[in-house]
Amino acid sequence: MSLFKVVLQWLSLLSLTLIVFYLYLISVRYETNVHHPQVTKIPSSSSSKGKFTGINDYISYMTSHFQLKPEMEKGLKPEFGPVLNNVNFTYAINPIRDKCRDTNLFIVVVSAPANYIQRKLIRTTWAAHLIGSTRYAFLIGSTNRPKIQKKINNESSIYEDLIQVDMLDTYMNLTLKSVALLHWSFHFCSGARFILKCDDDIYINMRNLHVAIQQLPSKTPNVYGTAVTNLKPLRPALNNNQPSDDSDKWIVNQEMWPWSTYPTYVSGGCYLIDSMAIGPLLAAAQTTPYFPFEDLYVNGLCARKAEVQVLTSDL
């Protein structure tokens, strides 16, 4: 089988996934609702709080249990409470700031510094078929590998579609990266009606996306996506001698998350944010203790703190 056919099959599978997402996005249901510390591994604990009871309980527990100290600065929304996180970011590369004016949709593709092939594939597929005033950019973090950074600089000079935040690009920093996305959107892309956050392994059907967005209300602080419900934390195995695998990154001990369930949130692979929700979500991130799972943090915790409506499908 030729490489071209393999790529086509790969794109078709991803396209089907996203088509389902955006078709169901139209008929959604309502779900109520500078230093950046890295998340560190915490020793396990036998305590348990039962089912998740709300954002105020989360903030109170995390602040008290981990002895978090308020920052000495004024919050974006003082009524949200004391500032716990510095949400100011700087950018080594940021040529996109003037491309958000009068933009209906701006797509921020979260990518890793070394993911050149994924970005090239996106530029030659769905990004080559943008509709109307839609624009896009790739958000990447920093790297400590000079050869990769040199390639990034060259890539940016050619395409001018990279945003590089001054933050080491690691899995444990994904939450910070998503907060940086909110910061960048708030300060450099306030002219866009919607911000679509997507990972670089997602194929976007631009036609279906355009149709779905046309049916949504404007200037309402909403987040739209695919529901993740009734999810329970994955706890450490009793047998510590078991070999590690990819599921290890989802393991959370009871001290880090003492509740037996997670709140409903939307999947982080791709979700849509009304521009009116960007500021409240950023202010909530400033006052809500970080959690390592970025989609749960932004759409499950910060959305509740900011009283942003999360509209989801059941798929």
DSSP 160-195: --EEEEEEE--GGGHHHHHHHHHHHHHHH-TT-SEE
Give the pLDDT score at 101: 82
Q: The tokens of 139 are what?
A: 């958000």
Contacts of 168 (CB under 8 A, 6+ apart): 141, 142, 143, 144
Q: CA end-to-end span of the chain, whole Å?
A: 33
Burial class from Cβ neighbours inside 10 Å (0-12, 13-18, 19+) for residue 153 reads middle
- CATH of region 3-313: 3.90.550
- Report the C-alpha gap between 169 and 154 in whole angstroms: 19
Q: The tokens of 168 are what?
A: 């080491």
Answer yes or no: are the C-beta atoms of 280 and 221 closer than 8 Å. yes
- Report the C-alpha gap between 169 and 52 in whole angstroms: 30
Query: Side chain identity at 314, as an amino acid letter?
Result: D
E strands, 220-301, in order: 222-228, 265-266, 270-274
Answer yes or no: are the C-beta atoms of 176 and 36 closer than 8 Å. yes
Query: Side chain identity at 94, as an amino acid letter?
Result: N
175: left (phi over 0), alpha (psi -120 to 50) or beta: alpha
How far is it between the farthest Cα atoms of the chain? 61
Strand-pairing partners, residue 219, are: none
> For the chain, how many residues are written?
315
CA torsion sign, 257 to 261 to 267 to 269? positive
Q: The tokens of 133 are what?
A: 């005033």
Give the pLDDT score at 314: 56
Give the pLDDT score at 242: 57
pLDDT tens for each residue of 256-273: 999 999 999 999 999 999
E strands, 187-278, in order: 194-199, 222-228, 265-266, 270-274
Give the pLDDT score at 28: 37
User: Other C-beta atoms within 10 Å of 15: how many?
Assistant: 17
Q: Report domain extents, the chain.
A: 3-313
CA torsion sign, 52 to 55 to 57 to 60? positive
Give the pLDDT score at 55: 97
Answer yes or no: are the C-beta atoms of 288 and 302 closer than 8 Å. yes
- Report the C-alpha gap between 200 and 268 in whole angstroms: 12
Answer yes or no: are the C-beta atoms of 113 and 139 closer than 8 Å. no
pLDDT in tens, the chain (315 residues): 454 444 444 444 444 344 434 433 333 333 333 444 443 332 333 356 788 989 999 999 999 999 999 988 899 999 999 999 999 999 999 987 777 888 999 999 999 999 999 999 999 999 999 999 999 999 999 999 999 999 999 999 999 999 999 999 999 999 999 999 999 999 999 999 999 999 999 999 999 999 999 999 988 999 999 999 999 999 988 765 554 555 688 899 999 999 999 999 999 999 999 999 999 999 999 999 999 999 999 999 999 999 999 998 754
CA 13 to chain centre: 22
- Report the C-alpha gap between 315 and 309 in whole angstroms: 18
- Report the C-alpha gap between 7 and 275 in whole angstroms: 34
